[in-house]
Structure 1
Amino acid sequence: MATIKKLMTLLSKEGLVEERAGIIAQFTNGRKSSARDLNAIELDSLCTFLQNEQQKHQNDVDKKRKRLIASIFGTFKLANKQVSIDYVKGIACRASKEKNFNNIPPARLDSLYNAFLNAQKDLTFAKRLVDGFINEQISYN
């Protein structure tokens, strides 16, 4: 059974305390605008909805973190360098200017992911270019 305290905790975690009257009104189709007016079923379903939204957001951020780790590993693999997960997380933290990998904001995770994908493309292009020059030199000799 959900309580008003639980509802307020969920709203504060999402930074929605100021908009709670609007959220409650939208959830109840305009019938109520205060958490005290909600009955037990409405309170329970609103808390469940907010928890599901938080979990969905957390899953999206986790997926972005894993994508970034994979792109950094891919970049080092193209450069023929073996690195550890701690090293990769350190690279991501330095690039984002965060002390903790889990504190990197989602938008920054996306931009770093794209930057490392571009680095992979550059390394692949440079490798093909160098291989072409080597083959050209071999054919002249």
Structure 2
Amino acid sequence: MATITQQNQKWLLKKFHTLCARLNMDAEMKLALLSGYGVESSKDLSNVDLMKICDDLNDILNPQDAKRDRMRKRVIAAIGGWLRLIGKGNEGVDYIKGVACRAAKIGNFNQISLDRLTTIYNMFLKRQKDAKAVNEVAGRIAYEARFGNNENLQN
């Protein structure tokens, strides 16, 4: 009976060769790709290297998927930054994805379109910038109210 690692490697090898075929790579091109990893056969690659190569080949084959994936990560970072700014920085990724889904009015984070992800990303970045500006102004007003208006404190 094959181990889980061997089963994963078989699946990854099949995926690798399928992606190479879809990209019309000949044997020489595959060998050039593999030589960058110091091997002559795809069977000699580790599962980690196979996954990386497959991800890179998939990005070449489906550039829109790569753009959506990068934008998903940016949305998570923007919402996470905003949550930290408002004092809810200990929330997990599932909570952040839920916020994005509520903003997009969609039940599944991975189904949010690229355009909608871009809009959500920009809105949460804008919220962060606005909150920082308001906090700075409010802090300055509170300082002046407590210690008086000092003309030497201007930026």
Scaled by the length of structure 1, what TM-score is found?
0.62
C-alpha distance in 1, partners of 2:72/2:129? 20
1:105 positional shift: 0.3
Q: Pick the aligned partner of 2:23 from 31, 48, 61.
A: 48
1:64 corresponds to 2:71:
yes
Q: Does residue 92 of the first structure (1) align with residue 114 of the second (2)?
A: no
Equivalent runs, 1:57-136 vs 2, <5 Å = 57-82=64-89, 83-136=91-144
Partner Cα distance (1:66, 1:74) in 2: 12
Deviation at 1:47, TM superposition (A): 3.0
Q: Deviations over 1:68-119 (max 9, x none)?
A: 0000001111112222111110000011011100000000000000000110
Give the distance between the partners of 1:95 and 1:109, measured in 2 at CA.
10
Percent identity between the aligned chains?
35
Distance 1:67 1:131 in 2: 29
SS at match of 1:87: helix
Quote how far apart the aligned CAs of 1:45 are: 8.6
Aligned CA distance change for structure 1 residues 130 and 66 (closer, same or farther; 3 Å): same
Q: TM-score, normalised by structure 2?
A: 0.57
What corresponds to 1:30 in structure 2?
Answer: none
TM-superposed deviation, 1:46? 8.4
How far, CA to CA, are the matches of 2:83 and 2:66 in structure 1? Answer: 26
Equivalenced residue count is 97
Going from structure 1 to structure 2, the CA distance change for 1:139 and 1:96 (only over 3 Å counts) comes to same
